[in-house]
Amino acid sequence: MDNIKQFINNNVKQYGMIIALVGIVILFQILTDGILLTPLNITNIIMQNSYIIVLAIGMLIVIITGEIDLSVGSVAAFVGAMAGILLVNQDLPIILSIVLCLVVGAAIGAWQGFWVAYVSIPSFIVTLAGMLIFRGLTLVALQGQTIAPFPDGFRSLSSSFLPEAFGGGELHLLTLLIGVVLSVIYIVNEIKLRKSDRQYNIQVPSAILFATKLALFVIVINLFTYMLALYEGIPYVLIILLVLVLGYTFMMNKTILGRHIYSVGGNEKAAKLSGVKTAKVKFIAFVNMGIMAALAGLIFAGRLNAATPQAGNLFELDAIAAAVIGGASFTGGVGRVFGAVIGALVMGVLNNGMSLMGIGIDWQQAIKGLVLLAAVAFDVLSKKK
């Protein structure tokens, strides 16, 4: 009993947002009479929020270094406009265009990173300027017009699904298989980790709790793929997200660069005197943010099937909210990639659920604002204890 209590105490912080997410999902499942968790709507939620998740990962890293980026919505719009010009007006090949767009994103990130890291201008100011600059340039590039439609190949990036490999009928079999494979990989990995933790005297939860955790995860993942399989299967964009989440989690937890990023936000002066190239680390965070903003801009343009001057409006706030709800701290040094994804999903489910209920955009904004405040208040109060 005590064991369980302690386990809960230790994990409320870590899993608090997951519990909140589950709560919100259940709430809207009831409020929408079960529409929320239909296969179609689950697929929708993923596709609607994919670009926010991409931005949230980039934003998380910037926030961990103790900085902020307000320009990501404008940058996403600018890159979307560029994609429109390259693909529609210039008729360039798709791959080449995507690569060019990502390079431009990196260049924008380098521009902002330069001012923040090497000239020491507060990132709030630099990216506030960037927000105006790139929104303006978007309007200039599009001359106030919308460019559409995109070629089919480009659109599939954000609206197509993994093809069925096994013929199949009602159910998308490849999707189910992927669910099973992921479960096995996860279980093997967790068991390995537990073994090595034991070996190095790191405290591990009891066998029952561990098994429960594994079982829960396997159930959730397979239920999820089953739902997707009932509709069209796995969207390409989900694969992109999966690769990003795993890749960035690995980078932040296992590499020297990741540790340096945390150290810069934790105490910049101490990191510097420990040989960490703090300016370079911040510069890299912004370049990365630029690439992520570009990717988000591409996904959004593909989904909308148009490059519009108003694209990406308020994306920066969704991204910041996602990172913060997911546990990142504005003082720097704290935050997890997985947390940011959960944070983005909290915001996404709120959006989706309220839309399904027919709540107007006005109330949606107000409620999202309150949720953001509540999440941070929870974090601050739980730290005070």
Partner 1 sequence: MMTSTILEMKSITKTFPGVKALDDVNLQVQEGEIHALIGENGAGKSTLMKVLSGVHPYGTYSGDIVYKGNTCEFKNINDSENLGIVIVHQELALIPELSIAENIFLGNERAKNGIINWNETRRKTRELLTKVGLHVNAEEQIKNIGVGQQQLVEIAKALSKEVELLILDEPTAALNEKDTENFLQLLLEFKKQGITSILISHKLKELFKVSDNITVLRDGKTISSYSLKNGDITEKHIIKDMVGRDLANLYPERNPNIKDEVVFEIKDWSVYHPLDSERQILHDVNLKVKRGEIVGLAGLMGAGRTELAMSVFGKSYGKKITGQLLKDGKEIVLNHVDQAIKNGLAYVSEDRKEYGLILIDSVKDNVTLANLEKVSKKNMIDKNLEVTQAEEIKSKINIKAPTIYQNTGNLSGGNQQKVVLGKWIFTDPDILILDEPTRGIDVGAKYEIYKIINDLAEQGKSIIVISSELPELLGICDRIYTLCEGRVTGSHDKEDASQESLMTYMTEVGGHYNG
Cβ atoms 353, 28 nearer than 8 A: yes
Residue 13 interacting with partner 1 (CB under 8 A): no
Question: d(Cα 166, Cα 197) in Å, to the nearest integer?
Answer: 40
- Tell me the number of residues near partner 1 by CB under 8 A: 25
Q: Is 155 in the site for partner 1 (CB under 8 A)?
A: no
- CA separation for the pair 28, 162 (Å, rounded): 29
Q: Shortest distance, CB of residue 332 to partner 1, whole angstroms?
A: 9
The Cα 47–Cα 295 span in angstroms is: 14
What is the rounded CA–CA span in Å between residue 290 and residue 76?
9
* 61 touching partner 1, by CB under 8 A: no
Per-residue burial over 209-228, b = 16 or more CB atoms within 10 Å of its CB, e = otherwise: eeeeebeeebeebbebbebb
Least distance to partner 1, CB of residue 253, Å: 8
Q: Which is nearer to partner 1, 179 or 265 (CB)?
A: 265
Q: Quick check: helix, strand or coil at residue 48?
A: helix
Buried b (16+ CB within 10 A) or exposed e, 85-110: bbbbeeeeebeebbebbbebbbebbe
Report, in Å, the least distance between residue 268 CB and partner 1: 10
Residue located via tokens 């955790």: 213
* Binders of partner 1 in range 250-279 (CB under 8 A): 254-257, 259-260, 262-263, 266-267, 269-277
Q: Is there binding between residue 39 and partner 1 (CB under 8 A)?
A: no
Q: Pick the closer one to partner 1 by CB: 275 or 360.
A: 275
Q: Should residue 170 be labelled a site residue for partner 1 when binding is judged by CB under 8 A?
A: no
User: Between vectors from CA 165 to CA 160 and to CA 168, what angle results, nearest 5°?
Assistant: 95
Q: Which of 80, 333, 335, 343 binds partner 1 (CB under 8 A)?
A: 333
The answer to whether residue 290 forms part of the interface with partner 1 (CB under 8 A) is no
Binding flags for partner 1, 172-201, as an x/- string (CB under 8 A): ------------------------x--xx-
- C-beta of 135 vs 260, nearer to partner 1: 260
Asked whether 288 and 102 are in contact (CB, 8 A), the reply is no
Residues found near partner 1 in the complex (CB under 8 A): 196, 199-200, 202, 254-257, 259-260, 262-263, 266-267, 269-277, 333-334
